Amino acid sequence: MTTPNNKTGLSKGRFALLALIFAAAILLIQQYGSSPRIAQPVETFASTAIFFAGHATDLQHTEQPLSQWQGQLLVVNFWATWCAPCREEMPELAALSQELAGKVTVLGISLDDAEKMQAFAEQTPMPYPLLSADIEGMKLSASLGNLNSVVPHTVIIGSDGKILKSYFGRITKPLLLQTLQPALNS
């Protein structure tokens, strides 16, 4: 005896699988789609020697030695014009830069070529130095512990040249203030 094909419905197994996939999709959307994910701190034990030996191009197309910022409390933000979380966090970096002027230096190091960074800066001026490092920017970022080429990548470097904290992903001003507070108090 043969059974007729069920042309109008799914088998119980396929229905359960589709329901499971649908539930997982809803959970992912709720977790990742509803609000930006804020970066968590990562312990990094990399040396800053390679970074401070590097150079990047400023908005006037002049090569700048990164060593000129050695000895300062730094927030170094590796970003790219095509990176949405990078662009989202820039106003917060700008506010931090203005609030802590003279105490903390914010550097924005773009992984774009100088022309793309220049066009972006004309549309969205920042009160802190924007530098273009293009392909070399990934090497600089890697020298500070970013071995997976993640952007945005933000590194807090103490005035002693040691990495205080590293963040992979979008940061916020309150998060940075919390991270910087111990260094500002010392």
Check residue 44 and give its pLDDT. Answer: 67
Whether 57 maps to a domain, the answer reads yes
Whether 73 maps to a domain, the answer reads yes
Q: pLDDT tens digit string along 61-94?
A: 999 999 999 999 999 999 999 999 999 999 999 9
For position 172, which CATH number holds? Answer: 3.40.30.10
Whether 118 maps to a domain, the answer reads yes
Check residue 24 and give its pLDDT. Answer: 62
Residue range of the domain that includes 54: 41-185
Whether 14 maps to a domain, the answer reads no
Whether 174 maps to a domain, the answer reads yes
As for how many domains the chain has, the answer is 1
Q: Indicate the SS3 state at residue 113.
A: coil
H or E element that contains 24: helix 12-28
Whether 129 maps to a domain, the answer reads yes
93 contacts 108 by C-beta, under 8 angstroms: yes
How many whole angstroms separate alpha carbon 141 and alpha carbon 137? 6
Q: How confident is the model at residue 1 (pLDDT cuts 50, 70, 90)?
A: very low
Q: pLDDT tens digit string along 116-149?
A: 999 999 999 999 999 999 999 999 999 999 988 9
Whether 11 maps to a domain, the answer reads no
Whether 25 maps to a domain, the answer reads no
What is the 8-class DSSP label of residue 67?
G
Q: How confident is the model at residue 42 (pLDDT cuts 50, 70, 90)?
A: low
Cα torsion 49, 55, 58, 63: sign: positive
Check residue 34 and give its pLDDT. Answer: 45
